[in-house]
């Protein structure tokens, strides 16, 4: 597979594994802007901007604006958030 072919796969990827049951998941894409969430798939929890795990509501209708602000990020912010979370959780 060429580098260009790999880049095409990356461009359409919607989920990346970050660890055992933790995934970085694209939750929406609107006007070329993607929103990502860090999901604990085993426990159906999502990491929020306060470095806390909270329940992922079962339907989009039950996710209010405050929830989306706390738990949905651009790609770089999501990656940085997870790296910080991992660093702090390993220290404690």
Residue 1 lies in a domain: no
pLDDT of residue 40 exceeding 90, the answer is yes
Tally of domains within the chain? 1
Closest among 74, 86, 9 to 40, alpha carbons compared: 86
Does 5 fall in a domain?
A: no
Is residue 26, in this structure, part of any structural domain at all? yes
At residue 51's C-alpha, the angle toward residues 80 and 20, to 5°, is: 75
Confidence (pTM):
0.79
pLDDT in tens, 5-24: 766 676 667 888 888 899 99
pLDDT given at position 19: 82
Instruction: Please determine, for residue 92, whether its predicted confidence score (pLDDT) is greater than 50.
Output: no
Range of the structural domain that residue 35 is part of: 11-91
């Amino acid at each position: 597979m060429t580098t260009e072919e790999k880049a095409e796969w990356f461009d359409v990827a919607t989920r990346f594994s970050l660890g055992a049951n933790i995934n970085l998941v694209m939750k929406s894409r609107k006007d070329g802007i993607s929103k990502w969430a860090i999901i604990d798939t085993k426990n159906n929890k999502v990491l929020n901007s306060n470095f806390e795990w909270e329940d992922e509501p079962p339907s989009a209708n039950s996710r209010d604006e405050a929830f989306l602000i706390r738990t949905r990020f651009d790609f770089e912010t999501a990656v940085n958030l997870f790296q910080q979370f991992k660093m702090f959780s390993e220290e404690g």
